[in-house]
Amino acid sequence: MADHTDIDELFYGTVTVGERGQVVIPVQAREDFDVNAGDKLLVFGHPHRVGLIIVNVSNVGPIMALMEQTLVAMRRGLGEEDEGN
């Protein structure tokens, strides 16, 4: 998936929260992020409480692997030895 920096490419429209707290993810967003019926999604609050972050559970492994690679590169850049963690 390509990185997007243009706000027009990140905006999918508006949704309304129903009485039971449900929202419908716009079709284009579902297609772009491969979200399908039955998928499990993780919902996080933004650290500054300005919104929500939704991540498909199937993407958690690759995200964690990328974070680990980034951490290792940062440690090397700081001259720290890789502790194998």
pLDDT in tens, 17-48: 999 999 999 999 999 999 999 999 999 999 99
Give the number of domains in the chain: 1
Q: Left if phi > 0, otherwise alpha if psi is -120 to 50, otherwise beta: which for 11? A: beta
> Is 85 domain-assigned?
no
Greatest Cα pair distance in the chain:
53
> Is 21 domain-assigned?
yes
For residues 36-45, one letter each, b for 16 or more C-beta atoms within 10 angstroms of the residue's C-beta and e for the rest, the string is eeeeeeeeee
CATH number at residue 60: 2.10.260.10
**In terms of residue numbers, what domain contains 38?**
7-77
> Is 2 domain-assigned?
no
Q: Give the separation between CA 27 and CA 32, rounded to whole angstroms.
A: 9
Its pTM stands at 0.64
| Over residues 6-19, mean pLDDT | 90
